[in-house]
Amino acid sequence: MSSKHQISTLFLTIFFLLILGCFASPRKNIRSRRPCKEMVFYFHDILYNGKNFKNATAAIVGAPAWGNNTILANNNHFGNVVVFDDPITLDNNLHSPPVGRAQGFYIYDKKEIFTAWLGFSFVFNSTAHKGSINFAGADPLMNKRRDISVIGGTGDFFMTRGIATIMTDSFEGEVYFRLRVDIKFYECW
Amino acid sequence: MSSKHQISTLFLTIFFLLILGCFASPRKNIRSRRPCKEMVFYFHDILYNGKNFKNATAAIVGAPAWGNNTILANNNHFGNVVVFDDPITLDNNLHSPPVGRAQGFYIYDKKEIFTAWLGFSFVFNSTAHKGSINFAGADPLMNKRRDISVIGGTGDFFMTRGIATIMTDSFEGEVYFRLRVDIKFYECW
Amino acid sequence: MSSKHQISTLFLTIFFLLILGCFASPRKNIRSRRPCKEMVFYFHDILYNGKNFKNATAAIVGAPAWGNNTILANNNHFGNVVVFDDPITLDNNLHSPPVGRAQGFYIYDKKEIFTAWLGFSFVFNSTAHKGSINFAGADPLMNKRRDISVIGGTGDFFMTRGIATIMTDSFEGEVYFRLRVDIKFYECW
């Protein structure tokens, strides 16, 4: 009887510990800061400047009262809205075969220095990847590394969430920008 | 003593299995690809074209240098930004009583074919539904079915996430678009 | 033997209950509607109106065909796109030391009344907070309290999700708006 009692006590203790562990301390414990998936891509932005229509992958579509849609505005381009459809490559070569398209917009959003806000998707439709990854966030683009959010995904990236670290890999004047993106998914399904 | 020892061993085994199950294999196991909620809606976009102000539910508000804000631009409308406040209905009839409003923007984002990027909300304020569903994602609109992300929700849709499948149900010229949206929520609270 | 049998039965029962609890009823049970973190901030929007460039923190960058980028358009500003870089303060005083910047855009999206759609970030870089909080959602701004989604975060706000309740704390004509934001995080990492 004493043995059984001991066992029952042990039982109940473990039972309540598990209940506590699984349910009460809601989700912190079951979350890992180790990514469940990692990917690195480059994308290439060629901004329309009135003379490069054929090669351009991006265009100014909004500007403040003191600007226009052909040339980036004064005051660190504050208020310029740019729409883009940029090729995504696996390495830093603009002429590598694109594996997808980066599509969306950025907005220059500060008078005093260059900063931007991004809303865009990586769209894949190849044997390697099908589906899309959706991003949003602030891009203080003078910083070497900037983190934005992966806010969702579809297809191969169904319901993912994570962090994308953006680095300016190269730029030429105000026409060509090459960005490196390190994507770390922390929610995979 | 032997019996007690056996039981203790069994105990420990189960204990560690459960610990492993609940905590280590972080979240994959507790996620289901079965939706926790499904909804189907239609919404109706009537684009302002200079002559239909009264009926229009959407307007061009940004354009590339070669366009303007009255007529959709050449090059597959690349660069056009459209703001909308469209009625949501339960069936495909524009004149059915609206159950909410689809509010936000879309951007045509490719020179070579029609594609768009969407950021918008479904806003409900009726006895049936109160609250909002927030969407973002790429819309390759020449495809029959396109998936975007449900990135959040409020009210009745508190903290939801999911996938919305968009289908062009009908269109008339470049003025009227009717979209069917199948929403599958995979995170419900 | 009978005692051992009883214990084994109890064992199995508990085991299956736990398995069920942890894995089957997918995520509803482990979610709490109690916030894991709460914060209150104010931000201050001073819209450029052609005469206040020095103080302005926001500018019109898109307008419908019947508007322009200096003055908010007729029809409840329908179609106006505004980019902003607003100071964030801990209290409702515009002149308090800013603790961060609210950066992004809003779009007036209805002809009949004032409503908007928001996409923006809170960007912090101080000893108190480093990182960003990303927001998106519909803002029916004539309502006293409006809920939008926290769609992600970086740095100190790594992978967070939640609800932000926006209240118009004060406004002066169509130039100065002060918003109070109560952020409730329901997913913390």
Judging contacts by C-beta atoms under 8 Å, the chain B residues touching residue C107 are 61, 83, 104-105
pTM: 0.87
pLDDT at position A32: 76
Nearest CA in chain B to C64: B61
Sign of the dihedral defined by the CA atoms of residues B56, B57, B58, B59, in that order:
positive
pLDDT at C128 over 90: yes
Chains that touch A (3 or more CB pairs under 8 A): B, C
pLDDT at C25 over 70: no
Cβ atoms of B148 and B168 closer than 8 Å: no
In one-letter notation, the amino acid at residue B9 is T
Judging contacts by C-beta atoms under 8 Å, the chain B residues touching residue A22 are 22
pLDDT at C24 over 50: no
For testing contact with chain A, the best of B149, B150, B161 (most A CBs within 10 A) = B149
Average pLDDT over residues C151-161: 98
Cβ atoms of B79 and B69 closer than 8 Å: no
Average pLDDT over residues C106-112: 98
Judging contacts by C-beta atoms under 8 Å, the chain B residues touching residue C109 are 83-85, 103-105
- Cα–Cα distance measured from residue A131 to residue A154, given in angstroms and rounded to the nearest whole number: 5
Cβ atoms of C67 and C79 closer than 8 Å: yes
- Cα–Cα distance measured from residue A45 to residue A59, given in angstroms and rounded to the nearest whole number: 10
Nearest CA in chain C to B155: C147
Q: Is B138 helix (H, G, I), strand (E, B) or coil?
A: strand
For testing contact with chain A, the best of B3, B82, B109 (most A CBs within 10 A) = B109
Confidence of residue B57 (pLDDT cuts 50, 70, 90): very high
CA atoms within 13 A on the CB side of C148: 28
Polymer length in residues for chain C: 189
Nearest CA in chain C to A162: C159
- Cα–Cα distance measured from residue B183 to residue B163, given in angstroms and rounded to the nearest whole number: 6
Please name the member of C18, C107, C138 whose beta carbon is closest to the beta carbon of B83.
C107
Of residues B142, C86, C69, the one with CA closest to residue A61: C69
Cβ atoms of B113 and B123 closer than 8 Å: no
Q: Do C27 and B31 touch (CB under 8 A)?
A: yes
pLDDT at position B33: 87
pLDDT at A59 over 70: yes
Q: What is the DSSP letter of A149?
A: E
Q: How many CB pairs under 8 A join A and C?
A: 133
Extract long-range pairs of B51-59: CB within 8 Å, 24+ residues apart.
B52/B175, B56/C111, B57/B84, B57/B85, B57/B86, B57/B87, B58/B82, B58/B83, B58/B84, B58/B85, B58/B86, B59/B83, B59/B84, B59/C64, B59/C65, B59/C78, B59/C79
Q: pLDDT tens, C72-81? A: 999 999 999 9
Of residues C151, C154, C142, the one with CA closest to residue C120: C151
Backbone angles phi and psi of A125, in degrees to 5:
-150, 60
- Cα–Cα distance measured from residue A175 to residue A143, given in angstroms and rounded to the nearest whole number: 19
Strand (E) positions, B50-160?
Answer: 58-62, 81-89, 100-108, 116-125, 130-139, 146-155
pLDDT at position C15: 64
Please name the member of B30, B85, B134 whose beta carbon is closest to the beta carbon of C23.
B30
Alpha-carbon gap: A91 to the closest alpha carbon of chain B (Å): 23
Q: What percent of chain B is modeled with pLDDT above 90? A: 81
